[in-house]
Structure 1
Amino acid sequence: MTIDTAGASPLFPEGRVKRYRRAGLWTEETLGDALRSAARKYAGQTALVTVNGRWSYAELDDLTESFAAGILAQTSLRPGDRVMFQLGNEAETVVAYYGCIKAGLIPVCTLPQHGEREISHLARHTDARGHLVQADFRNRNLVGMAADLRRSVHVLDTLIVTRGPAPAGALAYTSILEAGRREDARSRLADISVDADGLAVLQLSGGTTGLPKVAPRLHEEYLYNSRVWAQALELTDESVLLHPLPLMHNAGTVAAMQPTHLAGGTFVIGPGAETGPLLELIARERVTVVPVVPPAVAIRILEDERARHTGLSSIRRFVLGGQRPSEDLIERLDSELGIRALQMFGMAEGMFLYTPPDAPESARLATVGTRISPDDEIRVLEVGGEQEVPDGTLGELACRGPYTINGYYRAPQHNAASFTSDGFYRTGDLVTRHVLDGRDYYAIDGRIKDVINRGAEKIHAEEVEDLLVRHPEVSNAALVAMPDPILGERICAYLVLVDNAAQPTVESVGRFLLEQGLAKFKLPERVEVLEAFPLSNVGKVSKKDLRADIERKIEEESVGP
């Protein structure tokens, strides 16, 4: 594994780089230049739609160029600097993201829901200097939090505020745009040189722990990831793609926004997962593609009576991802709404799997699909080893390819455990490979990692447990997933208390964790107290037994006395 000169990002081996370029997968083109080319080609067509407005390719390109020029003119940020993003699903997010890419700045794709603990940890880990926050994001004082972080994190020195006034010492998004429209600022932007084989984006891998896992995405491979996914979805300049989930997730950038704009289609931003606005947007804009829909969102659509009276016939691709859906859900979408759902698997580290429209029915119902690139390499390994298992046998999914990372950012300990000796990424997912009609399909059958998948948000148990044991009345803590028909999994905290401790509640535990700076979506939704934890045969907490316990309790509660 080769390391760049900054010691920060594992690079692809030279032999693979040459192979990907010879095959035309990597084009020595930056993501910014590819977006500029698309804007010229599709200038008059609609590029972006929100509930409040719409912009053509020419208009969006002008805004992003203005932001790129303005942020370099108005701040001390320079190409290569990192910028934290805490923005919601708004047009300003698209403009700022593309603007940073064009300016050679590197977005760190955090979420508005992340708390002070996560943001400060990641800012230090990435040496982020810039911080973009949304003033009117629901129920959160992101501007106040960002101002506090500027005082406590020495590297985080540049604050930019969208959709509201900027405090003293910060800059408003509108002033950045205004500065970027000046001729001298545009001229300086034209002189910026960005390396196609350099860092484009830093994406988070499912959550943060004591050692953050940040996926370094490079211009050439991230661009190819977007293009090959656009091909898999058969996106064209007539496609209208709706994305309702957080825009700064990897699913938002590389599985929705970038593929649409590179193909000349219309990108529709949903304000959230509320079914009413989504159904209105689908009908109003004649949406054709809805990728990476978590089963929880699909279930809400099914249960909303308005879906039966909304024109959904325009949808030709409806792709379920984020967590494993039931076959019943897929069949109900078809029979009740006329939506033929397909499945996919994706991750911030790269690899996408997808059930194409011509997949056998058994593959569509029971697998997350097959590779989307001919150069994707997939192995199913013995758990903990590097030996491949036979087809039809459960093992760990491992992958390598032209858009799968070759190592985490500044994380040698993670890399030692997460990659095989020849560079295959160990996903931690348990899969079974099935060969149908001569093509490999993969069924997800669980996880090795101690991660809870709550409605496609990944919560690392260790992170929350480490905070819970700081509570003065908690002796030990274990976080497990409990089954949920909507979100797939919810969070249950098992606690062992110190002597004479007060009985904890979900509310009291939640308040304590919020005070520790934990994001709200990671809070336990049930608390169970035990005198001691069950142990495995090697003396560790047996989470298998804890999961069985909570499943039994939920089942008994559903039956009643």
Structure 2
Amino acid sequence: MAQQFPDRVAVVDDSSSITYRELIAQAWAVASGLIRRGIRPGDPAVMQSGNTVQTIVALYGLILAGAVPVCALPQHREKEISDLIALTRARVHVAQADWPRADLAALAVTMRERHDHLEVVLAVRGRIDGGVALEELVNEPIGALPELNSEGLALLQLSGGTTGTPKLIPRLHCDYVCNARTWGAFWGWDERVVSMHVLPIMHNAGLVLSLVASHMVGGTAVLAPRVDPAVMAKLIEQERVSDMVINATVAFRMLESPEFRAADTSSLRRVCVGPQNVEHAKRFEEELGLRALGVFGMGEGLIMATPWNATAELRRNTVGVPIHPLDEVRLVDENCNEVATGEVGELTTRGPYTILGYYDAETYNAGALTPDGFFRTGDLARATEVDGRVYYAIEGRIKDNIDRGGEKINADEIESQLSAHPAVVSAAIVAMPDPELGEKVCAYIVARGGQPTPTVETIATYLLEQGLAKFKLPERVELVTELPLTPVGKVAKKQLRADITAKLEAQRWEAKS
């Protein structure tokens, strides 16, 4: 695309833009500079940078150098980043020096001191002690680049949660290209597409369904710095955004924002919402005049979406159909037997861009696939056949994850940290419903006598001291004398989820009366 559309704008953020010609030149210079500093093909590079033009320059530079970006987030803190660096034996740490909500520069210095194998700290938008600034690399001479293997490892995505040690998703160059190209073809994208992403661009959805898919056809990728409807509205008007992939939290904020309602959003053609909320979808179409399309995507591969011409009922109540003709989807019971159409089963899949296992996780991978090679997603789904085409609706999940505004939080990780708290005998982490974020974290705790009573504040302070990201913190604590158990001795989390849901509902009714 750099040769076909050299002067077309490739990436826009809230304060700058870059053309295809400039993007490839700067990425090439970054790659050359990293190679001169000893970075070799296959070297992992943990990325901790936000939605900026410079982040994309760094990402593409790493890929051109043959390095393997590890897609962390600026919101991650010391424990998560240290675990990722240790697990991957990372040789590069990319950090956004001017990140407004945490001192990532200081964190990068700490990581460099802790991990001997870290060779390069690459500072994005600023400088870091002992690091090299991206703004310097983009002006260095270019040199020869390594030849990339299309079937080689392109990058590592984070899975929906961790269990003490991060679980990483290996994505290949060929399957990322296939995934992104298929997404664009599904919607008929061409060089006129302007796709905006407001959630972290380093998420799989940001890269595959926005950035790379746009660049496959010569379109423009617009990066919003944060989920702020006023900022989003300004960018939509300014850049004439045509496509967005958002989650239910972003949809809620758009609907509730006077600034967004007052904006000129007439350029928007497609807004894909995942997971789809029936009420949000209805309001999108009736109040904003935007056709809301369901979408389901996972870092492990499979993408589904509701076609443009699907009925309102299908758009609002399903996540649609697989986007690639070679994607296979099967709903199974606990014994991996296929369930009948209309029944709920675990969503399993295989296809041209779905992984065959996690990175360096042989033990876990033993149960990640069915005997015939279908990846087990841990999501529950129901199939509906309409006019010979099968549509899928997500009905929950088996995996013990909490989806807080699109960020997946694994309960085991928090429970493991709380088990060492001096005031906690035992703890169970469950999702509690929230109208804006979808779910929040609730901690059921059996307190230890003779210690200060655990509270939301004291638990938060403790977990932050352990290096956990702020978005993982429990936002409600329920003290109990014991945790309920299932007949086989496991914590009955279904019962706890029902309990907190009932309590929240009772509080809402009490507030209304």
Question: TM-score category by the smaller chain?
Answer: over 0.9
Pair 1:442-2:404 in alignment: no
Pair 1:144-2:106 in alignment: yes
Pair 1:187-2:154 in alignment: no
**Cα offsets for 1:156-206 (capped at 9, x unmatched):** 232111111220x32111222222xx2xxx2332xx122111100111111
Which of 45, 55, 68 in structure 2 is aligned with 1:83? 45
Alpha carbon RMSD of aligned pairs, Å?
Answer: 1.2
Aligned residue number for residue 123 of structure 2: 161
Q: Secondary structure at the match of 1:350?
A: coil
Structure 2 unaligned runs (5+)?
none
Distance 2:344 2:220 in 1: 40
Distance 1:501 1:264 in 2: 61
Aligned residue number for residue 19 of structure 2: 56
1:327 to partner: Cα distance: 1.5
Which of 129, 136, 150 in structure 2 is aligned with 1:175? 136
Q: TM-score, with normalisation over the residues of structure 1?
A: 0.89
Pair 1:513-2:463 in alignment: yes
Aligned residue number for residue 177 of structure 2: 223
Letter in 2 for 1:313: S
Is the CA contact (8 Å cut-off) linking 2:12 and 2:223 kept in structure 1? yes
1:295 to partner: Cα distance: 1.0
Structure 1 unaligned runs (5+)?
1-37
Matches within 5 A, 1:236-315: 236-291=190-245, 293-315=246-268
Matches within 5 A, 1:63-102: 63-73=26-36, 75-102=37-64
Which of 359, 363, 373 in structure 2 is aligned with 1:423? 373
**Cα offsets for 1:9-32 (capped at 9, x unmatched):** xxxxxxxxxxxxxxxxxxxxxxxx
Which of 303, 316, 323 in structure 2 is aligned with 1:365? 316
Q: Secondary structure at the match of 1:501?
A: coil
Is the CA contact (8 Å cut-off) linking 1:213 and 1:414 kept in structure 2? no
Which of 279, 294, 302 in structure 2 is aligned with 1:351? 302
1:86 to partner: Cα distance: 0.3
Distance 2:422 2:187 in 1: 52
Considering Cα pairs closer than 8 Å and 6+ residues apart, tell me whether 1 or 2 has the greater RCO.
1
Is the CA contact (8 Å cut-off) linking 2:427 and 2:443 kept in structure 1? yes
Distance 1:256 1:316 in 2: 14
Q: Secondary structure at the match of 2:485?
A: coil
Distance 2:406 2:227 in 1: 12
**Cα offsets for 1:88-113 (capped at 9, x unmatched):** 11111000001111111110000011
Distance 1:536 1:80 in 2: 46
Distance 1:285 1:165 in 2: 30
Deviates most, 276-285 or 62-71? 62-71
1:139 to partner: Cα distance: 2.3
Is the CA contact (8 Å cut-off) linking 1:67 and 1:176 kept in structure 2? yes
Is the CA contact (8 Å cut-off) linking 1:70 and 1:178 kept in structure 2? no
Aligned residue number for residue 436 of structure 2: 486
Distance 2:85 2:198 in 1: 27
Deviates most, 505-514 or 155-164? 155-164
Is the CA contact (8 Å cut-off) linking 2:382 and 2:392 kept in structure 1? yes
1:149 to partner: Cα distance: 1.4
Is the CA contact (8 Å cut-off) linking 1:493 and 1:528 kept in structure 2? yes
Is the CA contact (8 Å cut-off) linking 2:456 and 2:477 kept in structure 1? yes
Distance 2:371 2:308 in 1: 36
1:362 to partner: Cα distance: 2.2
Aligned residue number for residue 523 of structure 1: 473
Which of 500, 504, 509 in structure 2 is aligned with 1:554? 504
Aligned residue number for residue 104 of structure 1: 66
Aligned residue number for residue 386 of structure 1: 336
Aligned residue number for residue 7 of structure 2: 44
Q: TM-score, with normalisation over the residues of structure 2?
A: 0.98
Distance 2:299 2:121 in 1: 26
Distance 2:227 2:61 in 1: 26
Report % sequence identity: 45
Aligned residues: 511
Q: Secondary structure at the match of 1:229?
A: helix
Pair 1:319-2:282 in alignment: no
**Cα offsets for 1:25-67 (capped at 9, x unmatched):** xxxxxxxxxxxxx111111212111111222211111111111
Distance 1:298 1:361 in 2: 17
Q: Secondary structure at the match of 1:132?
A: strand
Distance 2:6 2:240 in 1: 21
Deviates most, 83-92 or 413-422? 413-422
Which of 111, 128, 135 in structure 1 is aligned with 2:90? 128
Distance 1:195 1:108 in 2: 18
**Cα offsets for 1:229-276 (capped at 9, x unmatched):** 111132110111111111111111111100001111111111110111
1:451 to partner: Cα distance: 0.5
Deviates most, 271-280 or 542-551? 542-551
1:423 to partner: Cα distance: 1.4
Distance 1:245 1:421 in 2: 36
Is the CA contact (8 Å cut-off) linking 2:43 and 2:67 kept in structure 1? yes
Deviates most, 83-92 or 41-50? 41-50
Is the CA contact (8 Å cut-off) linking 1:84 and 1:131 kept in structure 2? yes
Distance 2:404 2:164 in 1: 20
1:147 to partner: Cα distance: 1.2
